[in-house]
Amino acid sequence: MGPRLKLFLPLLLFVVLAGFLFRGLSLDPRELPSALIDKPFPAFHLASLEDGRELTRESVTGRAALFNVWATWCISCRVEHPYLEQLADEGIPIYGVNYKDNDEAARRWLADLGDPYVLNIVDREGTLGLDLGVYGAPETYLVDAAGVIRYRHVGVIDERVWRSTLEPLWREITAGGES
Amino acid sequence: MRLRWILLALFADLWLAGPALAVIETYEFSDPALEERYRALSQELRCPKCQNQNIADSNAPISQDLRRQLYQQLEAGASDAEILEYMVARYGEFVRYRPEFSRATALLWLAPALMLAIGAAVLGVMLHRRRRAVSAPLDDSERQRLAALIDSAEKKS
């Protein structure tokens, strides 16, 4: 390397560093890959919010579905609620995991805002949440017909998230299940 | 003088408040050894929600759950490896401040050694060049020019 070219070394270093930093601006460090991708949905014995009967893994698996972790104390859950109703109207089965919540408050929420869920699992102590690796509501899991977790989305589901990431996966999973 | 006392009092406050904030809930252990392991593990496990804190320092609900889980498993006689495995199975290698060595974490583990090696190499090259520059003897024409320069300087003074 000639001495003149060497003068450009700091500039080169700067450009590389700036490139990394610029990339970092559009990355969300809070979004963690789930450790449960391609693992079976965890087993559990918890009550149903609707009628109190005991639910297990078997009562909620068997067809492709979304599992939405929500709570009345979770403000973002209220934000995504209307969109979940829209998805339910389109015929997508959504199971609710009512995470560390109060049953009465949860029932009132569903009565007031509408109920997009097939049924709700009461996870008052957060044990199912722990087995799922939940670290904050809302989180949504895409589970296929074999009961295997295929994707986890942390945060609000809206039109953009659904169209860009979840819907393509959903199509893939449901198409695979039928063939 | 007065200001100094005020500052001192402020620092004492901060210093005393540190440990008070760190303690969130307390568990009674059947064995002091378990408590020691609880302390070590809760400092090594990272809070998945508040990413730059370990679960010992964080008061996020998820850290509380993980601490309770940690306590229950320790009391149930689980080994450190089993507990870490349990946490990693749910939250990924991310929950450990010292993740397992794998392809994904290789860069993380090797970067310090790599940096040191690069630094050492740069230093080595620089030192080598400098020694060569100093030890290169003057050739005849350079020596004559040096003598002439010294001569003219002496005449001037």
Interface of B with A in 45-74 (CB under 8 A): 48-49, 51, 61-62, 65-66, 69
| Nearest to A101, CA basis, from A133, A140, A129 | A129
Instruction: Evaluate whether A49 touches A122 at the Cβ level (below 8 Å).
Output: yes
pLDDT digits (tens, 9 = 90+) for A137-154: 899 999 999 999 999 999
Residue B90 has its nearest CB partner, among A30, A35, A100, at A35
Q: pLDDT value at position B50? A: 81
CATH number for the domain formed by residue range(s) A33-178:
3.40.30.10
Query: Does the pLDDT of residue A179 top 50, yes or no?
Result: no
Q: Cβ of A135 and B51 within 8 Å?
A: no
Which helix (H) or strand (E) is A54 found in, with range?
strand A54-56
Q: What percent of chain A has pLDDT over 90?
A: 74
Residue A35 has its nearest CB partner, among B51, B69, B91, at B91
Cβ contacts (< 8 Å) between A133 and chain B: which residues?
Answer: 48, 90-92
Q: pLDDT value at position B20? A: 47
Per-residue pLDDT, averaged over A42-58, amounts to: 93
| Nearest to A119, CA basis, from A128, A108, A127, A107 | A107
| Average pLDDT taken over every residue of chain A | 90
The whole-model pTM stands at 0.73
CATH number for the domain formed by residue range(s) B2-95:
1.10.8.640
Dihedral of CA B55/B61/B65/B68: which sign?
A: positive
Q: Given pLDDT bands bounded at 50, 70 and 90, which one contains residue A12?
A: very high
Q: Given pLDDT bands bounded at 50, 70 and 90, which one contains residue B94?
A: confident
Cβ contacts (< 8 Å) between B64 and chain A: which residues?
Answer: none
Each domain of chain A, given as residue ranges in start order, spans 33-178
Q: For residue B22, how many C-alpha atoms fall within 13 Å in the half-sphere facing its CB?
A: 13
Q: What percent of chain B has pLDDT over 90?
A: 41
The residue with greater pLDDT, B6 or B63, is B63
Query: Does the pLDDT of residue A102 top 60, yes or no?
Result: yes
Per-residue pLDDT, averaged over A12-41, amounts to: 87
Per-residue pLDDT, averaged over B87-106, amounts to: 88
